Structure 1
Amino acid sequence: MKFTRRQAFALAACMGAVLSTGGAMAQAYPSKPITLVVAYPAGGDTDAMARMFAEKLQARLGQPVIVDNKPGASGIIGSTHVAKAAPDGYTLLLAPSTFSIAQLVLKTGSGSAPAYDVLGGFTPIVQTAVQPLFIAASTSAGTKDVKALVAMSKVKTLSYASPGSGSPMHILGEMFNKSAGVKLSHVPYRGVAPALNDLLGGHVPVTFITYGPVAPYIATGKVVALAVADAQRSPLAPNVPTLAELGYKDVEVGAWQGLFGPKGLPADIAKTLNSHFNEILKMPDVAARMATFGALPVGGDPSRLAKANAGDYERFGKIIKEFGIQAD
């Protein structure tokens, strides 16, 4: 009888060890492919950087990282998909800063509920990039600096292009109008490419834009960067003055990108992803590739992304209401 009892205890101990090991293995992250959602079509800045990050992350984690484009409604469709996903680290969102304001600028029915909670519906993981915004003009327009642009706008009607109503570029344009005491007319486009094409074609004299798309044309003399809407000059174009330097106050608008998970993402998974992304963002080839999009690596802890998101939501929410800015 004693022998049988000892056997029972030994068997129970073995089974406990097996179950414990199996549980630990089941919790190992990642153990299957990760989906990185981009809430915009393929081919844009966010999509291109997502694919670069996916390749780097896949090599580090040993699991496939698949980019899934879910465009529509200024990014709301893709963001909502991630908000509703299981918080297990296998569905993530790489979002541009439009994420913070999209629901504020879209025309919605009275009393309609937000599609997702901007501040509380996600787990911030890491801010991947900042993209300074520039005022750029076609050289054919004859506006070689901001002073000339302002003077010209007071004697003739001028317009500016943006990649869409309600975009950070649109917000910047209206803030510049107020600060400079001018009325540049807004011409929204469906993306950066068509806005840039019309700038080059002489259909609009000015655009508010990130540096990457215009850099090749600045190099060839077809476009001139008039100013950067940041607190300091950009390392991407150190000779371009800030709007504040030129006397235009409170006109600081930048774009950023960041990685989010669904609300409730376990802290250890968020920490793992944050650590890997911080290492990826230090890679020279990654920084060089990001520069082609006018983006600078950021990194840091999740609070940095949370602060950027909350700051844009509060600040631009007031500006959107003040100017009555709405997306098409």
Structure 2
Amino acid sequence: MTHPTRRITLGLLGTLLAMALPLAAAQTFPSKTVTLVVPFPPGGGPDLAARVLAEKLAPKLGQPVVVDNRPGAGALLGASAVARSAADGHTLLFTPNTVVISPHVLAPGAGGGVDVHKDLVPVIAPATTPMVLVANPQLGATTLKGLVELARKSPGVPYGSPGNGSPMHFAGEMLKRSAQVDLMHVPYRGVGPSITAALSGEVKLLFTGLGGAVPHIKAGKLIPLALTEKARSPLLPDVPTATEQGVAGVEVNAWYGVLAPAGTPAPVIARLNKEFNDALKLPDVRERLAGAGLDVLGGTPQVLADFMKADNERYGKLAKELNIKAD
């Protein structure tokens, strides 16, 4: 039989070892390149924000920081890749809140069956972004009222979004319900492809993040019809919200979050959170993100955890109410 004292000693050693491992991981982190997986193609808001921050994080961490675009399945393919990676802080997910919303719309198991609430842990919410409804001039509508009248005369007007389960997809379905019009959803594989489609006239109506749309709005290539927010944006102060134009209930939120694989040591999460927050305080970072239509946020991991919980509940309920499914 094992002597009781020996059992106690072994148990104590095991406890001390378990306590020492996260500390050791934090002390050696990072030991190689840090990868920010963006689950959408290049060219959209998440990709831009990730690249701006990667540039500033590299010298702070003393290792290269690269962006890896892995689009597909409403951000779940990228999320799954990160969840399967080593829980050491070297592979992170940089995603919009689509990753929390799309599981309520896509088929079970989409993207490899990742559970973003169990398989990933929050690091930081770097920014939020206003949402806007824009039209190609060929559509023939320059106001939200004009769009509603057009849709009632010609049911089935197509509208684009960055993908199934995106906040923009939900905004379109909210508009259909609130204005009692028939619109047809056309999903794309990210913000960049959806804006390209709107510019070319492939789809003449688009819900998108404000950042990617502003340059084209200022150039007259896209017409802003409404902000799908509670308030106007300083970037487009003359563009009213949908509610201001008599179409209530068309409000969606969009935030960007950084997540790590579940099991990542707390000291590593704390180091990453600090470095991201420090980068977000830099004047040129704030200027570049603001110029892209993003509102700098930051804060503790709990801020992102609260966002994820609230959106999971809100959009889960809306998906059932509006019967939103993948197109």
Q: Which residue of 1 aligns with 2:230?
A: 231
Change (3 A) 1:47 1:201: closer
Which amino acid in the other structure matches residue 274 of structure 1?
N
Change (3 A) 1:72 1:97: same
Identical-residue share of aligned pairs (%): 44
Within 5 Å, give how 1:46-65 maps onto structure 2: 46-65=46-65
Q: CA deviation at 1:29?
A: 4.3
Please tell me whether the aligned partners of residues 134 and 224 of structure 2 are also in contact (alpha carbons under 8 angstroms). Answer: yes
CA distance in 2, matches of 1:115, 1:58: 32
Q: Which residue of 2 aligns with 1:119?
A: 117
Q: Which residue of 1 aligns with 2:70?
A: 70
Q: Which residue of 2 aligns with 1:79?
A: 79
Q: CA deviation at 1:205?
A: 3.3
Q: Which residue of 2 aligns with 1:301?
A: 300
Change (3 A) 1:69 1:162: closer
CA distance in 2, matches of 1:251, 1:269: 39
CA distance in 2, matches of 1:70, 1:209: 20
TM-score when scaled to structure 1? 0.83
Change (3 A) 1:27 1:154: closer
Q: Which residue of 1 aligns with 2:134?
A: 136
Change (3 A) 1:86 1:224: same
Q: Which residue of 1 aligns with 2:195?
A: 196
Long gaps (5+) in structure 1: 1-22
Give the root-mean-square deviation of aligned CA atoms.
2.7
Which of 128, 146, 149 is matched with 1:148 structurally? Answer: 146
Total equivalences in the alignment: 305
Q: Which residue of 1 aligns with 2:19?
A: none
Q: CA deviation at 1:292?
A: 4.6
Please tell me whether the aligned partners of residues 165 and 325 of structure 1 are also in contact (alpha carbons under 8 angstroms). Answer: no
CA distance in 1, matches of 2:81, 2:37: 9
Alignment of 1:96 with 2:119, yes or no, is no
Cα shift readout 1:204-234 (whole Å, capped 9, x = no counterpart): 4321111223222221223221211112212
Cα shift readout 1:4-42 (whole Å, capped 9, x = no counterpart): xxxxxxxxxxxxxxxxxxx97765142412232223344
SS at match of 2:254: strand
CA distance in 1, matches of 2:278, 2:58: 13
CA distance in 2, matches of 1:64, 1:196: 31
TM-score when scaled to structure 2? 0.83
Bigger Rg, which one: 1
Cα shift readout 1:148-204 (whole Å, capped 9, x = no counterpart): 221222222333222223322111100111111211222333333443344334454
Q: Which residue of 2 aligns with 1:37?
A: 37
Please tell me whether the aligned partners of residues 102 and 164 of structure 2 are also in contact (alpha carbons under 8 angstroms). Answer: no
Change (3 A) 1:65 1:191: closer
Q: Which residue of 2 aligns with 1:243?
A: 242
CA distance in 2, matches of 1:73, 1:140: 31
Change (3 A) 1:80 1:159: closer
Which amino acid in the other structure matches residue 62 of structure 1?
G
Change (3 A) 1:69 1:224: closer
Please tell me whether the aligned partners of residues 161 and 191 of structure 2 are also in contact (alpha carbons under 8 angstroms). Answer: yes
Alignment of 1:182 with 2:181, yes or no, is yes
CA distance in 2, matches of 1:304, 1:216: 30
SS at match of 2:256: strand
Q: Which residue of 2 aligns with 1:271?
A: 270
CA distance in 2, matches of 1:208, 1:323: 17
SS at match of 1:28: helix
The 10-residue stretch of structure 1 (49-58 or 36-45) with the greater mean CA deviation from structure 2: 36-45
CA distance in 2, matches of 1:31, 1:118: 24
Within 5 Å, give how 1:203-218 maps onto structure 2: 203-218=202-217
Change (3 A) 1:135 1:315: same
Change (3 A) 1:211 1:42: closer
CA distance in 1, matches of 2:88, 2:144: 49
Q: Tell me which stretches of 4 or more aligned residues in structure 1 moved more than 4 Å.
A: 23-27
Q: Which residue of 1 aligns with 2:315?
A: 316
Long gaps (5+) in structure 2: 1-21
Change (3 A) 1:43 1:192: closer
Q: CA deviation at 1:291?
A: 3.5
